[in-house]
Structure 1
Amino acid sequence: MATVNPRKPTDSKGRKLSIHVVTWNVASAAPPLDLDELLQLNNQNLNLDMYVIGLQEKNCGIMSLISDTAFEDSWSSFFMDVLSPLCFVKVSCVRMQGLLLLVFAKYQHLPFIQILSTKSTPTGLFGYWGNKGGVNICLKLYGYYVSIINCHLPPHMANNDQRLEHFDRILEMQNFEGQEIPNILDHDLILWFGDMNFRIEDFGMQFVREAIKNQCYCDLWEKDQLSIAKKCDPLLREFQEGPLLFPPTYKFDKNTNNYDTSEKKRKPAWTDRILWRLKRQPQAEPHTSRQLAPHFLLSLRSYISHMIYSISDHKPVTGTFDLELKPLVSAPLITLIPEGLWTMENDMLISYSLTADFLSSPWDWIGLYKVGLRHINDYVSYVWVRDNQVFSSDRLNQVYINISNVPETEDKFLLCYYSNSLHSVVGISKPFKIQPRTFLGEDPLGEAQPQI
């Protein structure tokens, strides 16, 4: 697979991106009616740029899997319905049985997000069954390598060694043989989250529940299996996590905020976690000067659970991050220009220019979208860049696109150039309007106007 080549900085200005990460074991439940708090839609101070959403135990019955192969699954559709009016587009997704990972971004970031790989790593039933394991999306974000992993590790108190083994196995399986992608440990950022199923050791049920009731969470931290493992495992120690200042998120009676009252009476635990790892910078040799690494800093703004949601025996957990970076890629590979005044005629002209290092393909296409598109296949019309080409040079290319079937509307539109070899949008136009036929040739007062 071709990749965008340059790693050298092309933009001296810094950029800040706000990323909201969601992890939730939904226990086969359908989406609730309102997810505003989960997605922080009422927090106008966030001004988010990306959503990263990981679900576990999504309904994976045979009828659900068959339906989802033909249609969007209910959770993906719900998130798209909520986020697309806010100018978020589904960039990529990957599913393995009950595991679902979704990435959304505001449309202006699309030319700077290159999807490099999606991967599923089953670890259940001797490594062949996907009820446990991890799903990964590897992408380039403004030239930086980012890997996103949603996982579901083995349950039960006694299986801690198995959880750590699966953690290592999922990480080891994130190889990219035959592709110009570095090892995952050389990626600039790894976001790793999911139902990790780590438990609280030693303390009895009564002590744990009293500590939770009194919000004395620090009394439980020292016996949290993940916290203990991070002190001993050199690689796990490189992953950071925010403070656990919220109640354990497992296990609840469904449709309540009561911890498990069944016969099993599972002990509460922080099973649902969000971790991250920034690439280690090489140490400078003594008495030598070292070029400063590109600016790339991730800071945690909030790490919370959401107790209002009770459709599952788990509570969802979210982490909101600010990512400060100096873009290694600051100009899109394609610059799109809708020529002249667009009206409801049969064919309209699109001009676009390519950067010197971009190789177009006969399978590249340009889509016409309404602002508020849900995903890249949500086009109103499209054209193959080679089929309807009318002009081509080193600096400028022109194609015609048919919009005769586009309904007259007051909506704004966008043009997106999709690269087949890069599996990504590499150029996007500014929003524009298409004038209705009734205004062609006359103004609202009925006076003739010159044709454009």
Structure 2
Amino acid sequence: MTFYSTPASKAIYVPGRDPSVDDVMRSWQHRYCTFEDTSICISTFNVNGRSPPAILKGWFSDSRRADFYAVGLQEMDLSVGTYIIDNTKKMEDWIECIRASLPGGSNQYHIITSMRLVGIFVVLFKQNRCKVRVTDVSTNYVATGISVLVNKLGNKGATAISARDVSQLSFLPGRLNIYDHDVIFWFGDLNYRLNWERVACSGEDIRIMASSSNYRSLLKNDQLKEQIKIGAVFVGFHEKEIFDFRPTYKYDVGTDVWDSSEKGRVPAWTDRILWWTSGQEMVVEQKSLQSINNISISDHKPVVGEFRIVLKCVDQKKANGLYEEAIREADRRANELLPQIQLSQMEVEFGHVLLLEPKTIIITIKNTGKSQAWFRFKNQPSVVNPSGTICAPWLTVSPSHYLIPIQQSTQISLTAFIDETIAANLDQSKPVLQDILVLSLDNGRDHFIPVSAKFFRNRTEAGLDSLLVNQTNDVNLIDFGKRYFSEIEKFSKMASWFGDIKKKLQDTVSAIEQQMKAENSDDPEQQQVVAEEKPKLENSEPKPENEENPENADEEKQEEVAFAGGKGLLSGFDAGKFLKDTTAFATKQLEVVKTAVIDKSMLGELNRDQTEFERQLEEEKKKNDSVTLPWEGLPDENLAKKKILALSLDSRNFLRDSPGDSEFPAQKQEAMAAKLIGVDSNLGKVRFQLVPKKLTEQKFWSNYFYRVGLIRQSILMNEPVRTSKTPEPQVCETRMKFLNV
């Protein structure tokens, strides 16, 4: 479980606390690190107990000067007294010989540290003008030689140097913890030989082949390369595939002649240089690998390898700023590695199941995660399943367990079958059968699948059940009453009557306007038409349309009065004005009647409620529009939005109590929550699942907005700020190891 610190705390990133967080920070190195090139020269030499000369010319190249030189010697001192008395004389002589042999002379380099185990010795030099800082230097050794009482002699074993910025090595009791580093160099006389017995040739034939230009063909029988290839040793280490030099062992001392002693050792590449890196982000490039044939003071030849390394320089302030974000990212990655599946259906309904007639439903399970998904159905003792098996007796599940590869699917079949034995144990008064299957994922969560069926002994019973279920009754849900409908009917009649009057008055006004236009015209023909039509209008009488209908007598009388008044006024402009006023009056009266009917009826009440509801909705909309979403206004809105929306994908973000208060007040949380639910569909779903079953509404939003605040703070902390202050010095953090065996 990961505990997030409060915003006020100062989180400091220290590598090694949590491997999952270290993995995240390692993948984010470009966000808080800079990188610079450096060069390192590695050499291994089994000196066979020889005393060193003042200088060994040609050991190291004068044309290419490295920043660091790491030299490992084996069999430096073979005298018996060395195992009893710590005599450093020969070690000191070899240090001076190595220093003098470095390119540019002994004054160009200084010793960082050294380590000796009897005859096994390693020393690290640094060029004086190199600007790479070296800190946290440590050394150690492991003795694996002859056992004397409870101790082991140092005739066999390993020595090691560790230094931050160039290398780093940590130790646990009794062994070297070499993999807690960025780079490891493992070099020395590893004593791997050739499997020459496999080839149909003698040792002399091997020596002849080793002296020829075809010596590289012997590498296919090299024991170390064979062991690395099958993963038996040095897993993850690298070595040059093809050597451009002859075997480095065994020679007659002082010559380039293969061993001519009685033992007649077969030539082999016993002296090796290997390297390992913690990941692809570490750049280690081997520039060269060679043996120095002109040095013949031993029965071995020294081997020299040159490397280019990109050192990592850490800005600790930036790393601290990313620490909390890295914790959350590590949690997210861990969740992604948990098995995830998707079911084609979450509930199973068989419907009608008849006696002795099986019914099967298929469910598809898809592995949607990033790891294999192993599932099994759990035994669940219950009232419907007292036997404690994975399902009720009437139900069969196959398969009950399975391993689904990544992005693959499988199918499970659920079969409902009821025979006489099972039917005898069922409650005949309750035909509905129910069960719950529990599908459990290994290292994942459980999925609950409700299963139901209706049992009938024959099709007649099943058909009767279907008939009863499908019957529906038409019900008048709202009875407004006779009074309401009588008022509506009355209103409709009045509206129709006034509508007819209005239409006829408008037609009359239109006729008057045409007549006035003709009377004012200078055209003799138009005046003649007016003179002819005027008597017709005066003698015309409006006739009721339905004389035989006594129910419309009152309405017809009112219409006659209106039209009679209009007829007597057709001769002048005042008549037109009167008709217009009458039309306006009729329209106004219509609105009065309509308003009275609406206000005094249920329709009016419904209308007022609707108006009030619309007003409240408009106010709520204005209120929500004024609230900004939590990612709005941040330096990187897209990144902030993505991270905040991702919170609702993990219910633990709501179930874990927040250690502090949110930056948002309660009133603002309420308005912002309503707006966020509209944007984030998952947020509403997880709220429905958790509230109030597992926590209160207030606690749900308090935990959520606290984590929203953490994301906002991390985004704001990463915003670049211009400053005139001198930048803090960067510390190179590349960890390397030099292991001499």
TM-score (norm 2): 0.35
> How much has 1:111 moved relative to structure 2?
6.5
Partner of 1:19: 40
Structure 1 range deviating more: 63-72 or 103-112: 63-72
Partner of 1:114: 135
CA deviations 1:375-420 (Å, max 9, x no partner) are xxxxxxxxxxxxxxxxxxxxxxxxxxxxxxxxxxxxxxxxxxxxxx
SS in structure 2 at match of 1:14: strand
Partner of 2:71: 53
Partner of 2:250: 251
Partner of 2:153: 129
Contact 1:123 1:130 in 2 (8 A): yes
> How much has 1:330 moved relative to structure 2?
10
Partner of 1:175: 171
SS in structure 2 at match of 1:226: helix
> How much has 1:217 moved relative to structure 2?
2.7
Contact 1:10 1:330 in 2 (8 A): no
CA distance in 2, matches of 1:30, 1:71: 7
CA distance in 2, matches of 1:34, 1:187: 34
Contact 2:55 2:97 in 1 (8 A): no
CA distance in 2, matches of 1:112, 1:5: 19
Rate the CA distance shift 1:47–1:56 in 2: closer, same or farther, 3 A.
same
Trace 1:185-196 onto structure 2 (pairs within 5 A). Answer: 185-196=179-190
What percent identity do the matched residue pairs reach?
Answer: 31
Trace 1:21-36 onto structure 2 (pairs within 5 A). Answer: 21-36=42-57
CA distance in 2, matches of 1:71, 1:236: 32
Partner of 1:273: 272
Q: Which runs of 5+ in 2 are unaligned?
A: 1-12, 16-24, 318-741
Partner of 1:321: 307
Rate the CA distance shift 1:68–1:188 in 2: closer, same or farther, 3 A.
same
Structure 1 range deviating more: 184-193 or 65-74: 65-74
CA distance in 2, matches of 1:232, 1:71: 40
CA distance in 2, matches of 1:329, 1:215: 52
Contact 1:32 1:311 in 2 (8 A): no
Counterpart AA for 2:152: Y
| Equivalent residue in structure 1 for 2:220, among 219, 222, 226 | 222
CA distance in 2, matches of 1:239, 1:189: 10
SS in structure 2 at match of 1:209: helix
Partner of 2:99: 80
- In the alignment, is residue 303 of structure 1 matched against residue 304 of structure 2? no
Trace 1:276-295 onto structure 2 (pairs within 5 A). Answer: 276-280=275-279, 295=281
Counterpart AA for 1:55: L
CA distance in 1, matches of 2:304, 2:182: 21
SS in structure 2 at match of 1:326: strand
> How much has 1:137 moved relative to structure 2?
0.9
> How much has 1:214 moved relative to structure 2?
2.0
- In the alignment, is residue 207 of structure 1 matched against residue 220 of structure 2? no
Contact 1:9 1:326 in 2 (8 A): no
Contact 2:51 2:90 in 1 (8 A): no
Contact 1:11 1:326 in 2 (8 A): no
Counterpart AA for 2:228: K
Trace 1:225-240 onto structure 2 (pairs within 5 A). Answer: 225-233=223-231, 236-240=234-238
Instruction: Report how many aligned residue pairs link the two structures.
Output: 282
Determine which structure has more spread, i.e. the larger CA radius of gyration.
2
Rate the CA distance shift 1:92–1:61 in 2: closer, same or farther, 3 A.
same
CA deviations 1:151-206 (Å, max 9, x no partner) are xxxxxxxxxxxxxxxxxxxxxxx7346xxxx9422311110010011000124313
Trace 1:326-337 onto structure 2 (pairs within 5 A). Answer: 326-328=312-314
> How much has 1:109 moved relative to structure 2?
4.5
CA distance in 2, matches of 1:115, 1:109: 18
CA distance in 1, matches of 2:315, 2:152: 39
Rate the CA distance shift 1:269–1:33 in 2: closer, same or farther, 3 A.
same
> How much has 1:85 moved relative to structure 2?
3.9
CA distance in 2, matches of 1:36, 1:70: 22
Structure with the bigger RCO (C-alpha within 8 Å, sep 6+) is 1
Counterpart AA for 1:137: I
Q: Which runs of 5+ in 1 are unaligned?
A: 148-173, 282-294, 332-452
Trace 1:98-109 onto structure 2 (pairs within 5 A). Answer: 98-109=119-130
User: Between Structure 1 and Structure 2, which shows a larger proportion of strand residues?
Assistant: 1
Contact 2:76 2:91 in 1 (8 A): no
Counterpart AA for 2:117: M
Alignment RMSD (CA, Å): 3.2
